[in-house]
Amino acid sequence: MRRNSERRAALLDAAIEVLAREGARGLTYRAVDTEAGVPAGTSSNYFPNRDELLHQIAVKIHERLMPSDASLAESLALPRDKALVERFMHDIVARADADRSSYLALLELRLEATRRPELRAALTRTISDNIEFNVAFHTEAGLPGDRTTVELLYLAMSSLIVERLTLPGVLSTVDQDALIKAMVERF
């Protein structure tokens, strides 16, 4: 069967929405097909098994959450100082807010990975590669700090985003701009 790359992308986008809304148990081929508005059985033609679907969702999430080349170029035209690192952290939060479904789906994938060794291995590689990319980017861009700085910021920002998406009331009285500034200053 000939495969359409646009349809495949639409199926993955639909799967992310289903996963974010319904959780891993609600992620079925039928639910993906319904969300994508395609005939029943379409998604199973593109993703032969659940493990492959989950892996491809993880890849698609990371593609969706990457900053645009234009945004990176605009930022890298600025001085390479703590203010730029802070700007990057604010951009991460803005992307989480703009694509809430991707972050929630990623949380669901992480939970599912605790029960599926193949997914755990694939997701571990994807997240580890992402961290390595960020460390290399930070270093090559001449930003202040080292590998530990990037790792600490990754952990702090991940936690901040989880709180914003799952229990927004926890930090509702906290000035999150000031919190991000303090993170960058202290790390």
Show the 3-state SS of 56-82: HHHHHHHHHHCCCHHHHHHHHCCCCCH
Q: Is residue 179 part of a domain?
A: yes
Return the CATH number at 165.
1.10.357.10
Specify burial of residue 157 (Cβ count, 10 A radius: 0-12, 13-18, 19+): middle
Domains: count for the chain: 1
Q: Is residue 155 part of a domain?
A: yes
Q: Is residue 126 part of a domain?
A: yes
80 to each of 46, 139, 167, how far by Cα in Å?
44, 11, 34
Query: How many Å from the N-terminal Cα to the C-terminal Cα in the chain?
Result: 52
Give the pLDDT score at 3: 67
Q: Is residue 4 part of a domain?
A: no
pLDDT tens over the chain, length 187 residues: 446 999 999 999 999 999 999 999 999 999 999 999 999 999 999 999 999 999 999 999 999 999 999 999 999 999 999 999 999 999 999 999 999 999 999 999 999 999 999 999 999 999 999 999 999 999 999 999 999 999 999 999 999 999 999 999 999 999 999 999 999 999 9
Give the pLDDT score at 1: 43
Q: Is residue 1 part of a domain?
A: no
In 3D space, the residue among 48, 65, 68, 62 whose CA is nearest the CA of residue 8 turns out to be 48
In 3D space, the residue among 144, 136, 133 whose CA is nearest the CA of residue 85 turns out to be 144
Q: Is residue 176 part of a domain?
A: yes
Question: The tokens 């000939």 sit on which residue?
Answer: 2
At 40, is the secondary structure helix, strand, or coil? coil
Helix and strand numbers, DSSP H then E, in the chain: 10, 0
Phi, psi for residue 9 in degrees, rounded to 5: -65, -40
**Domain span at residue 147?**
55-186
pTM attached to this predicted model: 0.90
Q: Is residue 25 part of a domain?
A: no
